[in-house]
């Protein structure tokens, strides 16, 4: 009887312990799976962090190169601006030097003769710079004389106006008239440009009173001086 009771007790205890062991095993299995997933996730996070670090390094390198390129471009632009400024200064100095040389050459030359083209002779009209046919004919005569006496000549062309209107505008008109003569001599008779010089006196050097119509007509003129 006692043996039967002991056996029954042991059987009951086995039945009670068996579910508990099964539960612990299940828990260990699940925990192991979770740990594996955590380890895998940790590895993935580390790989992502490493890729991010490498990308940031590459971005930093690119930014440095971009900054260096920008600074190089600014330096190049500054150098170009300096070169342009220096070139302009040189051009200005060369032009000034050429003007002085021309003035010296003109001062050292001997006046051969003077030709005057004025409105009272049927040439330039009031406020106009166009070269009339009568003026062209006079210029052709001058060139024929030069060809007959082919010395080393130099031509000064002066533009003049009357005193009607704005002084600055008169200076511009005087220069336009002188340039018209210079252009005609160059294009039609191939007179070298370096052999000619133009200047405008505007209303500053009248040859007749400006208080009469005839006097103003005489003042609207171009004076051509042939020097040797």
Kindly indicate the confidence band of residue 225, based on its pLDDT and cuts at 50, 70 and 90: very high
For residue range 32-45, what is the model confidence (pLDDT) as tens digits?
666 676 567 667 76
Q: What is the pLDDT of the chain when averaged over all its residues?
A: 77
For residue 34, the model assigns a pLDDT of 60
- Find, among 83, 157, 81, the residue nearest to 117 by Cα: 157
Q: Where are the domains of the chain?
A: 48-108, 110-227
CA dihedral 199, 203, 204, 205 (to 10 degrees): 80
The residues near 161 (Cβ < 8 Å, ≥ 6 apart) are 170, 171, 173, 174, 202, 203, 219, 220
The residues near 39 (Cβ < 8 Å, ≥ 6 apart) are none
Question: Is pTM, for the whole model, over 0.75?
Answer: no
Kindly indicate the confidence band of residue 53, based on its pLDDT and cuts at 50, 70 and 90: confident
- Find, among 198, 204, 187, the residue nearest to 223 by Cα: 198
The residues near 198 (Cβ < 8 Å, ≥ 6 apart) are 157, 158, 159, 175, 178, 179, 181, 182
For residue range 120-175, what is the model confidence (pLDDT) as tens digits?
666 666 666 777 788 888 889 888 888 776 668 899 999 999 999 889 999 999 99
> Taking the domain 110-227, which CATH number applies?
3.30.1330.60
For residue 214, how many C-alpha atoms fall within 13 Å in the half-sphere facing its CB?
0
């Amino acid at each position: 009887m006692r043996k039967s009771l002991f056996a029954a007790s042991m059987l009951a205890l086995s039945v009670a312990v068996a579910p508990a062991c099964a539960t612990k095993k299940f828990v260990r299995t699940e925990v192991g799976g979770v740990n594996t997933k955590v380890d895998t996730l940790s590895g993935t996070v580390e790989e992502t962090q490493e890729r991010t670090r490498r990308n940031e390094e590459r971005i930093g390198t690119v930014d440095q190169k971009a900054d260096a390129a920008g600074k190089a471009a600014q330096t190049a632009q500054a150098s170009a601006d300096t070169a342009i400024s220096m070139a302009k200064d040189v051009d200005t100095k060369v032009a000034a030097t050429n003007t002085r040389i021309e003035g010296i050459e003109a001062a050292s030359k001997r006046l051969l003769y003077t030709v005057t083209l004025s409105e009272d002779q049927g040439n330039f009209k009031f406020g106009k710079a166009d070269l009339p046919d009568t003026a062209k004919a006079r210029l052709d005569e001058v060139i024929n004389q030069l060809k007959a006496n082919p010395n080393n000549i130099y031509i000064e062309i002066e533009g003049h106006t009357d005193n009607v209107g704005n002084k600055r505008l008169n200076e511009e008109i005087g220069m336009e008239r002188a340039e018209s003569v210079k252009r005609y001599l160059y294009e039609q008779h191939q007179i070298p440009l370096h052999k000619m010089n133009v200047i405008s006196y505007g209303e500053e050097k009248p040859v007749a009173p400006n208080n009469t119509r005839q006097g103003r007509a005489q003042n609207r003129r171009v004076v051509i001086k042939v020097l040797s």
